[in-house]
Amino acid sequence: MEAVPAASTNPFFLNIISGAFEIGFLAFGVVYFIFTLIVLRQVNLMTSTIKTEGAGVLKALAILYCGLSLGVIVLIIGLF
Q: What is the pLDDT of residue 41?
A: 96
Q: Could you tell me the residue range of the domain that residue 52 belongs to?
A: 27-79
Give the number of other Cβ atoms within 10 Å of residue 62's Cβ.
Answer: 20
> pLDDT tens digits, residue range 55-73?
999 999 999 999 999 999 9
| Whether 65 contacts 39, CB under 8 Å | yes
Question: Phi/psi at 43 (nearest 5 deg)?
Answer: -65, -40
Total of domains in the chain: 1
How far apart (Å, rounded) are the C-alpha atoms in residues 19 and 24?
8
Q: What residue type is assigned to position 44 of the chain?
A: N
pLDDT tens sequence across 39-56: 999 999 999 998 889 899
Tell me the residue length of the chain: 80
Q: Is residue 33 situated within a structural domain?
A: yes
Domain presence at residue 22: no
- Please state the rounded mean pLDDT for residues 27-31: 94
Q: For position 2, what pLDDT does the model report?
A: 64
The answer to whether position 59 is within a domain reads yes
In a domain, 11, yes or no: no
